[in-house]
Structures are given as structure tokens and as C-alpha cells.
Homo-oligomer: A and B are copies of this chain.
Amino acid sequence: MIDSQRGRACPLFRSGILALMLVLTAAVCEAGIPADSLARQLLRKGLGSYHSHDLLTELVRVAGSRLSGSPGAVKAVNLTAAMMRRYGFENVHAESVMVPHWVRGKKEEALLLPRGGGAARPLAVCALGGSDGTPRSGITAEVLEVRSFEELRAAGPRAAGKIVFFNRPMDPTLLNTFSAYGGAVDQRAGGAIEAARCGAVAAIVRSVTLARDNVPHTGSMGYRDSIPRIPGVAIGIRDADLLSATLIHDPHARVKIRLSCRTLPDAPSANVIGELRGSERPDEVIVIGGHLDAWDTGTGAHDDGAGCVQAIEALRLLKELGIKPKRTIRAVMFMNEENGSRGGRAYVAATQRSGERHIAAIEADRGGFMPRGFTVQGDSDVVERVKRWETVLGLVGAGVVTAGHAGVDVSPTVEAGAVGFGLIVDHQRYFDVHHSANDSIEAVHPRELELGAIAGALLVCLISEEGL
């Protein structure tokens, strides 16, 4: 076991490497490692190689974009299973799950058509995930710009036959960029529904981003059974500003949208699992994971290739250090977080069948940036108990422990009784890349990524050895 209160020592891990440590560290009894020594060893091992960056490079090179149902997703399932076998994880397998299968298709364009018949201007757009396509001839209509659903409803019949342009930006003045995202993403998720309710023929949504470039950012959108299905696209923010400015002096300007995206029948896919089997309580499971699917506009290096390779790297680091955990530590690559969350639900269903008890579920899905700590999703007592690890987690840069949501993929596991944890990172740069072509390996810093893996390794080990 690990002793997170320095100076107190307790019976711990048993492994070959520890003989040396017994000589080197003061606060050790039997064959254990004090938690602060473990933290330093994880830093030494992890930052000595930046292995997680190599794994991520391999993932985006081999699998590339990997939306649920795509050939890239199949490659990602096979590759991450192969990675876990390569490192000698136990019980490596894929667990089947049927997933939605949306494809972008080849045609994806929008043209701004000035009223007077001037030259058409291409706009930087991409279909929102789940959108229906347009007729082959496209949809051409005048544009109604609004900043909110309330403004749309107030406009009422003026929306009929038009393309509704939702142009409310993320609020850049909030320190917490996730709050800013939360304040704008309703337009993307529900814009097509609300526009169709008012008789509109399509929806254009200002990209939900804090970047100042013109790259469109996709993401899932919904339909509602009783309301007509109209196409939805995201537009780069410079072109959003251009469209808005154009509409002031040319309110009858039209936009023509052509999309060939469509939804195919559900496809077979899988969660991928590998573990370090617990030596004393193998049926008590600690999950650490991210989601393997990623939007097809980029290669999902941050979202959420980072979380996947960090989970694999966390287990690899513990194994490299010769640690044999008391409880089972399991890496899970969840499928289909982006447009269905089927993987997270299928995982719980499978584990409930097997009679395992999940004591904790840790998710990393906020980008591979500098870690700061962990949210804890559980009752206030457990949050307080986790706070006893703040000092030791601080040794690897992740000393903030605060109550909060863990993550989409582990939510069903948390609902089933596990304590949830979410890796907190510095998120100032996240919404520059999120769901866009900007989300590439070049945007991931090797040290920041590895530190997330190290923080994860340390936390799972603390939970495994000390309990919650």
C-alpha cells in the first residue's frame, strides 16, 4: 500500500524493484513505497521518455480520424488493443457495442450570394454531426441572424423559408472556458430543431470556439421526431463575422448550402479494455479511460486521443515500476462519446453482468493539457477523503481536488455506484482546437500530455492501495 501521509508507513506493494527502494527511502515498511517516492518515480519514468506522446502519434497516424462506425474507428480499436497487449496488460479484449453511423460525404460547401448578383463567396463551413444532407441541388435561401432561441422565437414567422444563422459567440471573458462553451453550445446542439420549429430550411451556427481563425468546429446536433429535419452547419468565426456584416448592408443576401452527409444504419464497434489484475481484491475495479472515437474534422489528438493514451500510459508506468496493485486497475477506451455515448452505457451493462464492483472511474476528456488536479463526483465525505491526497498529487502538478462532474463516458459507471473522477487541466487553449482540423498532434505538448498520464497513474494507485 502507499502511504500518502508522509512519515507514516504501511504494508504495501510487493515487487522486485522495491528491494532497492527499501534502502533508499525512509518511510517504508515491509515491501511498500511511500506515496511521495512513488510520485517521484512516476515523474522520472514518465518524463524520461514522453511515451504517451509516442502512443498518441501512433494513434493519429494509424487510425487518423475515427468517428464511430468509420474505418478509422476500427483501426483505433485494433491498435489500442495491440498497444495494451504489447505492454503485457491482462484481460485485453474488445467489448462489442452498436454505434450510430453518420458519414460526412464528399460534398460540403456554402456560398454567400450577394443580392445584386455579385460573385459568390465560399464560406468556411462543415456539417454538424448528425445533420441530414441537402438535396443535390442544395438549399438556397435568405438568412435570418439571431443570437439566441429567444430572439428566434421573437422573430417568429420571419424565419419561415430562411436559413437561420445562430451567431452568439462563446463569452471570452470567462476564466473557465468550459463555462463559456456551455453558454454557447445550445445553438449547435438544438439550433436546427428550433429553426425548423419556426419554418426555417437550414441552420448555420457560429463555431463554438475561442480561436480567432476561420476553421469551422463541428460537434453533435439533434433532431426531434415531431419537427422537420433541416441541415445544420458550423461556420468559421471570421466568416460568421463576414456574413453578419454582409447582412447589415445586404439583408437579402442569400446563402446556398450543399451537403452530402447522412446517417447510415447503426454499425458494430467496441470498447477496448485491458487491466492490471488486483493481487488482493481483484473484483474491486478502478477504471481509467478516455474515448476512442473522435470527430472527423481533425485527428482528435486532444479530444480524446489524449485521454486514451494517458490511460494506457498510466498502467504501463505502474507496470514498469513493478507495481502489483491490490485492486484491479483497468484502462478503458470508450467508443462513441461524441455522438451517442453508447460505449459508456454498454460498459456498465457488461460489468454488471459479471458481478464486478467498481469503486472508482476516472475520465480524462478535457484535452491533453497541463494537469491541475481532479474533480471528484461523489458525496461530500468522499471528496474530503480524497483531499488527503492533495499534497502528494501536487508533487506531479495535480494537487487540486474539488467536487465536480467526472465525465460523459464514466457517468453510467458513477450512477451505478463508483466514485467518479475527472482530470482537470489548463483549458485556455482547448476550444481553439476542439472538434476541428486544429485538433492535431502538433497542438499537443509532450510534457503536458505525459504529466496527465502520471497524475492518472498516481491517483489510480492511491485508490487501489488505500481505498476510498
25 contacts between A and B (CB under 8 A): A43-B173, A43-B174, A43-B175, A44-B173, A46-B173, A47-B172, A47-B174, A47-B175, A48-B172, A48-B173, A172-B447, A175-B395, A175-B396, A210-B447, A212-B446, A370-B370, A370-B426, A426-B426, A428-B445, A428-B447, A428-B448, A428-B451, A429-B445, A429-B447, A429-B448
- Could you tell me the distance in whole angstroms from the C-beta of A56 to the nearest C-beta in chain B? 14
Is A11 at the interface (CB under 8 A from chain B)? no
How many copies of this chain sit in the oligomeric assembly? 2
A114 to chain B, nearest CB (A): 31
A397 within 8 A of B: yes
Chain B, residue nearest A48 (CB): B173
Docked-complex contact B428 and A370, CB < 8 angstroms: yes
- Chain B residues, Cβ within 8 Å of A451: 175, 428
Residues of A379-415 contacting chain B, CB below 8 A:
395-397
> What is the 8 Å Cβ interface bit string for chain A, positions 434-468, against chain B (1 contact, 0 not)?
00000000000111100100000000000000000
Give A173 to B396 CA distance when docked, in angstroms: 11
CB distance from A242 to the nearest CB of B (A): 20
Closest to A177 in B: B447
**Which residues of A are at the interface with B, using a C-beta cutoff of 8 A?**
43-44, 46-48, 50, 172-175, 210, 212, 370, 395-397, 426, 428-429, 445-448, 451
Which residue on chain B has the smallest CB distance to residue A212?
B446
Q: Would you list the 10 A-B pairs with minimal beta carbon distance, nearest first?
A: A47-B173, A44-B173, A428-B447, A47-B172, A48-B173, A370-B426, A428-B448, A43-B173, A175-B397, A429-B445
Query: Which residues of chain B are near A44, meaning CB under 8 Å?
Result: 173
Q: A43-B175, A47-B172, A212-B446 are in contact. List 18 more A-B contacts (CB 8 A).
A: A43-B173, A44-B173, A46-B173, A47-B174, A48-B173, A50-B172, A172-B447, A175-B396, A175-B397, A175-B451, A210-B447, A370-B426, A426-B426, A428-B445, A428-B447, A428-B448, A428-B451, A429-B445
Task: Give the CA-CA distance A396 to B44 in the complex, in Å.
Answer: 32
- A247 CA / B73 CA spacing, docked (Å): 46
Least Cβ–Cβ distance between A453 and chain B, in angstroms: 14
Q: How many Å from the CB of A289 to the closest CB on chain B?
A: 24
Q: What residues of B have a CB within 8 angstroms of the CB of A446 in the complex? A: 212
Distance between Cα atoms of A395 and B429 in the complex (Å): 18
Residues of B within 8 A of A174 (CB): 43, 47
> Which B-chain residue is minimally distant from A370 (CB atoms)?
B426
Q: Which residues of B sit under 8 angstroms from A426, Cβ to Cβ?
A: 370, 426
**Whole-angstrom distance from the CB of A429 to the nearest CB of chain B?**
6
Beta-carbon nearest neighbor of A41 in chain B: B173
A315 CB, min distance to chain B CBs, angstroms: 20
Using CB atoms, name the residue of chain B closest to A180. B47
Residues of B contacting A212 in the complex (Cβ-Cβ under 8 angstroms):
446
- B residues less than 8 Å from A395 (CB atoms): 175
Expressed in whole angstroms, the Cα–Cα distance for A426 and B427 within the complex equals: 12
Bound together, the chains give a CA A445 to CA B433 distance in angstroms of: 13
Give the CA-CA distance A451 to B446 in the complex, in Å.
23
Determine how close the nearest CB of chain B comes to the CB of A399; give it in whole angstroms.
10
Shortest distance in angstroms between A432's beta carbon and chain B's nearest beta carbon? 8
Q: Tell me the complex Cα distance, A43–B44, Å.
A: 37
Q: Across the interface, which residues of B come within 8 angstroms of A445, CB to CB?
A: 428-429
A22 to B172, CA, bound (A): 25
Please give the distance in Å from A209's CB to the nearest CB on chain B: 12
Q: Complex: how many Å from CA A420 to CA B247?
A: 53
**Complex Cα gap A172–B43 (Å):** 9
- Nearest CB in chain B to that of A53: its residue: B212
Name the residue of chain B whose CB is nearest to the CB of A42.
B173
